[in-house]
A and B are shown apart, each in its own frame.
Chain A
Amino acid sequence: MSRILLRFFNWVLLLTIVFIATRFMIRTLPGDPVETLIAESGTSIPAEVIRQDLGLDRPFWLALRNDIHRFSKGDLGTSLLTKKPITPLLIDRLCKTIQLAGFTLILSLTLSLILGIAAAAAPGGWVDLICSFYGSLAAALPMTWIGPILLLIFAVKIPIFPVGGHPALPACALTLSLSGFWSRLVRERVRESLFRGSAQGARARGIPEWKVFLKYGLAPASGMLAAYLGTQVGGLLAGTFVVETIFDWRGLGSLLIDSVLKRDYPVVEASAFIAAAMSLFGIFVGDWLQDRIEPKLPEAEER
């Protein structure tokens, strides 16, 4: 119990650091952000007003205190360009991203578990070959290329999926890029645990083969896999961001990239913070799951 509290405390601490860092970056990086904003977006808002909106006219700590105070009330500020509050917009976009990411997660997990276990079942067999070939190919396919190609083939030439507004095709594209490595990882881990004596013993006791794979192959590896999956939440989000831009899915990623290109700093800060919080939360959950699955794992002290 104390470990989970410690992890939670760690999470909150890291979040605070990220929150401060996103506010700090705008002041420390070279160049005057306000001048670039005016030059790039061609806005007619005077520089002084923007400076005031961003809190750049005050010392860092005062602005930060103000930001934290607002954040505690659930207010993430207002957009510089549209003058609308960010929080409702962000929640709406976040829901769409979670929808896409969740769909992707289910698809990728199913595919990589099936492929990985099937490959581990017969090392050197044709499923194993397909698994390793698929793994190498998926890692070599740039999403920025395969995404549009998938769109061309499966939405235009053979209209199975709608062109926009449906998560199926983007989720498939993202699955293609994620599940390659995942299935190889599942295969490695399952094979590793099958090499232990327990699988042999189970076979000798006459336990059916599929049960051996699940109970003595997958189950011992699941703690590690859960923890790994937790670290992949950030990667999943980053992938979602790219996919959203390609497939015109109005989620957090397209919001972030749009506001980066328009230099809408408050929106960038807020959405980058939310994305960072989510990837940290993924690690938190992954670690917690690993603790639950492998309760006797000693804390790594020496690195």
Chain B
Amino acid sequence: MKRKSAWAWLIFWYSNAFLFFKSNSQHHLEYSLNTPSLKHPFGFDSFGRDLAQIIFKASLTSSSISLGVVAISTFTALILGTSISFAPKSLRYGFFRILETLIIFPSLLFALTYAAICGPGWDTLNFALLIGIIPSFTRLIYLRTREILVEDYTVAAHSMGAGPGLIFKNHLFPALLLLCNIKIPNLFAHALLAEATLSFLGVGAPIGSDTWGSVLLQAKEYLLENPHIALASGIPLVLTVLSLQILSESNSPFTRPKL
């Protein structure tokens, strides 16, 4: 039930977003900050643009960045995590320390320092999201790989002469796939939230581009007189993140209801 409504929301939101993607937004300054009406269900923003269009487009921009980041991090984490777990012990120890150090630092701090030097922009945003995701995901995949490698069935397969390729195909790959299944929606949600934070603080998306974070910033500026911007931009974000988390949880074998 939860899973179905999560999918329903995601499909509803993104299909609408794709419909609006082609339409170009026009500035009607005379409608600036108009409240929602039947024809324009989300109202208008401060530049006199139809807020529905802006938010759908912004959500697509944010989502494509987040998806790209999640794809890159998954790829990196899979390669790094699995290859390091085959390395000698001393190397593994050092690697693990570095990972943990990277994890304990708030990624916001990295992002801010980076933004101070390179300035806000897509690069800064991508860097901040990647540094926030890759270390912890690599650590997770590394730990899971180590777990699988010492499982009885892996040891048995190895002792019966299975090579690394076969072990990877039969034991490691399915386990890591399950892990990615749980983790990817979760990371996607995390990246969306992080983008919203960074662009809101002014160190993410460049000025003039519409992302969820920059719409939220506009919403905050006009909050007192025009709370409709905040509601129209925030509620879809919350629902999207919530749906992704529900998907992540329902993919986990531990919370799935017993059949």
Contact = CB atoms under 8 A, between A and B. Distances in A.
B113 A142 contact: no
B86 to A, nearest CB: 14
A155 B235 CA distance: 21
A8 B36 CA distance: 58
Contacts of A136: 242, 245-246, 249
Nearest to A257: B201
Contacts of A95: none
Given A136-B242, A257-B202, A275-B109, A25 B117 contact: yes
A137 B242 contact: yes
B227 interface: yes
Contact of A140 (B197, B224, B241): B241
A121 interface: no
A263 interface: yes
B10 interface: no
Q: Give the interface SS of chain B, mostly helix, strand, loop or mixed.
A: helix
Interface string B196-213: 110011110000000001
Contacts of B241: 139-140, 142
A151 B224 CA distance: 10
Nearest to B142: A303
B238 A140 contact: yes
B195 to A, nearest CB: 10
Interface stretch (A29-37, A86-94, A96-104, A105-113): A29-37
B108 interface: yes
A276 interface: yes
A149 interface: yes
B115 A144 contact: no
A280 B103 CA distance: 11
B23 interface: no
Instruction: Indicate the size class of the contact surface on chain A.
Output: 35 or more
Contact of A260 (B116, B197, B223): B116
A260 B203 contact: yes
A194 interface: no
Given A143-B197, A144-B200, A151-B223, A280 B104 contact: yes
Interface stretch (A42-50, A60-68, A203-211, A231-239): A231-239
A145 B223 contact: no
B257 to A, nearest CB: 13
Contact of B223 (A31, A148, A245): A148
Max count, chain A CB within 10 A of own CB: residue among B117, B118, B216, B237: B117
A260 B112 contact: yes
B206 to A, nearest CB: 13
Interface in A132-166: 136-137, 139-146, 148-149, 151-152, 156
Interface in B217-247: 217, 219-220, 223-224, 227, 230, 233-234, 237-238, 241-242, 245-246
Contact of A238 (B108, B113, B193, B234): B108
Nearest to B192: A142
B117 A149 contact: no
A1 to B, nearest CB: 23
B26 interface: no
A238 B224 contact: no
B213 A144 contact: yes
A41 to B, nearest CB: 11
B242 A246 contact: no
A25 B104 CA distance: 19
A137 to B, nearest CB: 7
Contacts of B12: none
A242 B112 CA distance: 12
B230 A145 contact: yes
Interface of B: 89, 92-93, 96, 101, 104-109, 112-119, 143, 146, 189, 193, 196-197, 200-203, 213, 216-217, 219-220, 223-224, 227, 230, 233-234, 237-238, 241-242, 245-246, 249
Given A142-B234, A245-B201, 5 more contacts: A25-B117, A137-B242, A145-B233, A148-B230, A257-B202
Interface of A: 14, 22, 25-26, 29-31, 33, 36, 40, 136-137, 139-146, 148-149, 151-152, 156, 231, 234-235, 237-238, 241-242, 245-246, 256-257, 259-261, 263, 265, 268-269, 272, 275-276, 279-280, 283, 302-303
**Shortest Cβ-Cβ A-B pairs, 7 listed:** A238-B106, A145-B234, A144-B200, A140-B242, A140-B241, A238-B108, A234-B106
